[in-house]
Amino acid sequence: MEFESELAARPPGPDDDLLRLHSALAADYDTLGDCRDALQHGSDELALRQRLQGPDHRQILTARAWVACWTGECGDSAAALRLYQELLSDQVRVPGPDHRQTLTARAVRLSPMPSRQSVRRP
C-alpha cells in the first residue's frame, strides 16, 4: 500500500500527519476486507485522536465504532459487544439520546453480531 511506505518513511513530526496516515490505512484495509490490519491502524488512529481531540469529539466516537466493528470481524464478538456497549453510553451523553449515531449504536447493541453496515466513515 502506498500509505504503508509513507508511514514507514515518515520522519518524526506532527501527530496530525500520523493520524491522517493511520486513518487512510484503516479505511483502505477495510475496503480490501483485511479486518486485522484495519483494526491495527484503526486502533492507532483512535489512540491519536483521543490524545489530540479529547474523548468526546465526534470523530472519536466514529473511530470507536469502527474499532468495535473490526474487533468483531476479527472473531472477538464478546469484545466487540463490550466496545459497542461502552460506546453507547458515550453516544447518549455526547450527541444525545435521539441522535442518529446513538440510535445506530443502540440497534447494534441489540443485534446478534455488530456489522460494518452499522458504521459509516465521516
Angle, helices 58-73 vs 77-93, to 10°: value is 160
pLDDT in tens, 62-98: 999 999 999 999 999 999 989 988 988 888 877 677 7
* Domain architecture of the chain: domains with CATH: 14-118 (1.25.40.10)
With beta carbons less than 8 A apart as the criterion, state whether 27 and 121 touch: yes
* pLDDT in the model for residue 58: 86
Four-residue CA torsion sign, 74, 121, 56, 108? negative
Whether the pTM exceeds 0.85: the reply is: no
What band does 122 get if pLDDT is binned at 50, 70 and 90?
Answer: very low
Q: Which amino acid is at 112?
A: P
pLDDT in tens, 4-51: 676 565 555 678 788 999 999 999 999 999 999 999 999 999 999 999
C-alpha cell at 98: 435521539
pLDDT in tens, 25-35: 999 999 999 99
